[in-house]
């Protein structure tokens, strides 16, 4: 794997020339809630695919009461999460608080494809009937694009925002989807 591949998905906080668009919500610091209603932590950062200009993961600092490992972080693929704008929180419908043990810890180093595969697969286990990234057959051509499955489909994450007519946030870049730019390059 080339060095470029290791630097493709990086924390937004590490990108001086990228920022959340001014009229879009920035979920960093928001509470993250599992499907069982339990708080699992807070969004620490957004991990951005710099080549595609899309958010691929939420970096979640796990609540210490749920982890024996102090200051544990996990990645939540964007397709598994959705915004609850009314309460400034993120909901992960396909994850129970107890499922956190099976998710690999994110140690803030370079993200390899092997690590991404482990993360994605940990969310798929036991969720074949519902939710993004289920064990359904992938569309033709999706095998060539790691991010081509529902695990990385950000439309559900921003759905509440889009349904209000306020535009999208952090997902697709450009006006091709009918929404304003999601990430802006800072000047």
| pLDDT digit string, tens, across residues 10-48 | 999 999 888 876 767 899 999 999 999 999 999 999 999
pTM (two decimals): 0.77
Please state the φ and ψ torsions of residue 119, each to the nearest 5 degrees.
Answer: -65, -50
Q: How confident is the model at residue 124 (pLDDT cuts 50, 70, 90)?
A: confident
Fold classification of 3-171 (topology level): Photosynthetic Reaction Center; Chain H, domain 2 (3.90.50)
Coil, helix or strand at residue 120: helix
Tokens 């390899």 belong to residue? 112
Task: Give residue limits of the domains in the chain.
Answer: 3-171
| pLDDT digit string, tens, across residues 125-143 | 745 334 444 444 444 444 4
Q: How confident is the model at residue 186 (pLDDT cuts 50, 70, 90)?
A: low
Coil, helix or strand at residue 133: coil
> Is 113 a residue whose pLDDT tops 80?
yes
Rounded CA separation 97/167 (Å): 31
């Amino acid at each position: 794997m080339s060095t470029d591949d290791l630097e493709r998905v990086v924390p937004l906080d590490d990108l001086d020339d990228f920022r959340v668009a001014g009229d879009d919500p920035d979920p960093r610091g928001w509470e993250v809630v599992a499907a069982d209603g339990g708080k699992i932590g807070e969004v620490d950062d957004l991990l951005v695919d710099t080549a595609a200009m899309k958010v691929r993961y939420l970096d979640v600092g796990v609540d210490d009461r749920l982890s024996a490992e102090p200051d544990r972080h996990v990645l939540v693929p964007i397709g598994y999460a959705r915004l609850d704008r009314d309460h400034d929180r993120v909901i992960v419908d396909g994850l129970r608080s107890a499922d956190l043990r099976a998710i690999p810890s994110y140690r803030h180093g370079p993200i390899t494809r092997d690590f991404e595969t482990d993360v994605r697969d940990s969310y798929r286990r036991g969720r074949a009937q519902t939710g993004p990234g289920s064990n359904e057959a992938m569309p033709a051509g999706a095998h060539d694009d790691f991010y081509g499955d529902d695990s990385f489909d950000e439309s559900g994450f921003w759905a509440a925002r889009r349904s209000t007519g306020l535009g999208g946030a952090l997902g697709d870049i450009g006006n091709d989807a009918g929404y304003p730019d999601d990430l802006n390059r800072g000047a």
